[in-house]
Amino acid sequence: MKKTLILLLVLAQTAFAEPPTPNEQARFLAGMPQEGSSLAGLAQRGEFNSHAKDLDAAWADAEQRQLGPIRAWAPLGLPEAVSDIAPLLYVFSGPDFLHAYTFFPNASAYVLAAVEPVGLPPDVTKLSEGELGASLRNLRNTLNASLSFSFFITADMKKDLQATKLTGTLPVLYVFLARCGCFIQNVENIWLDAEGKILTDKETKTPGARITFLGAQGKQQTLYYFSTNIASWALKQDASFLRFCDGLGVMNGFTKSASYLMHMDEFHTIRDYLLTHCHTMTQDDSGIMWKDFPRDSWDVKAYGWYPGPIPLFKQHYQADLAEYYRTTEVPMIPFGIGYQWRPKQSTLIYGVSKMMVRKAIPVEEDVSPVQR
């Protein structure tokens, strides 16, 4: 009788236990302290401690070497973009919320677009101990490239994301949000209809995720991630992503480690969209070509150094950009960024449109806030 009573009490506690919140899931995946979390017990088992130790070390190195210097320099070097609350459009981003938020912490919304799949909101409680350990190891592998080099290695990331029970880009986004000091309020899978309107109950060809969160300064912000092909032929067939961006008004643009895709005619649509819809554009040399910024409508300058592309992309050398660096006193930057990630080897280009008005259109959010 006593054993039966104990069993019933355990079952009752389990039935009424609150499931972990998205913020608790994020802090767990990020290897952060679990005091007061419903996942504190799970953190005492398996590989969580080694996962936390490894991520603490990797984050401390990235903070000292890159993230801290970016935060200190960006308001001085990119004043119009950093001070603006307009949405940030980051194309060819992968799940790199980290650099978007580090450079531009004041944006009201972050719109990331890449080909990597969205996945489902992660739930570590549904994994066996073996599955959880393997998933945390694969997650660290994915994060290491971004933290070490400032960009994801696409082929390696695809392999890591497929070889885990924590699928898609959401686990990576969770880690970056948590480690950036953000508090996740709500997460949902979304889709876009042909007019760029958000759907939550009907799948389309443009899947995404919407994450509402409190930023490190306590301000509510929104992160959108869309898994979509933004080649010109694909956007001609399905312009839902661009129609969604239209609804956000004037934005600030950002890209890096973009495989020089916008150097090619096959990506002229997204290149032209950035040049006609963004107030500012921040990028390395793999983004829009130096010569493609119309000087009658854009003021463009550069920072750092231009050593040319890495050997893999040597065909995208820009002689006019090299001449600018040779003949202009270009300020250095105290961090590395992009494919040439080593200090004093990185190129950073910053353009400010003469035509776009700095005004963000508020985005109506239909989300239920979660109590902190």
In order, the DSSP letters of 100-162 are HHHH-TT-SEEEEEESS-------GGGS-HHHHHHHHHHHHHHHHHHHHHSS--HHHHHHHHH
pLDDT of 343: 82
DSSP output for 344-370: T--EEEEEEESS----BPPPP----PP
pLDDT of 364: 45
Token pair of 269, please? 């649509």
Q: Rounded to two decimals, what is the model's pTM?
A: 0.90
Closest CA to 274 of 88, 85, 78: 88
Residue 94 lies in a domain: yes
Residue 153 lies in a domain: yes
Residue 72 lies in a domain: yes
Total count of domains within the chain: 1
Most confident of 3-7, 162-166, 324-328: 324-328
Residue 18: pLDDT band (50, 70, 90) is confident
Q: Rounded to whole angstroms, how far apart are CA atoms 147 and 176?
A: 10
Distance (Å) of CA 237 to CA 199, 240, 273, 304: 19, 9, 16, 39
Residue 12 lies in a domain: no
Burial 140-157 (b: 16+ CB within 10 A, else e): bbbbbbbbebbbbbbeeb
Q: In DSSP terms, which residues pair with 280 in a beta bridge? A: 252, 352
Residue 309 lies in a domain: yes
pLDDT of 363: 46
Residue 1 lies in a domain: no
Residue 365: pLDDT over 70: no
Residue 289 lies in a domain: yes
- Average pLDDT value for residue range 110-132: 95
What is the span of the domain harbouring residue 292?
20-31+46-353
The predicted-structure confidence for 136-160, as pLDDT tens digits, reads as follows 999 998 898 777 555 555 555 555 5
Closest CA to 95 of 164, 17, 197, 173: 173
Residue 114 lies in a domain: yes
Inter-residue contact 315 to 286 (CB < 8 Å): no
Q: What percentage of the chain exceeds 90 in pLDDT?
A: 81
Give the length of the chain.
Answer: 372
Closest CA to 93 of 184, 189, 223: 223
Residue 238: pLDDT over 80: yes
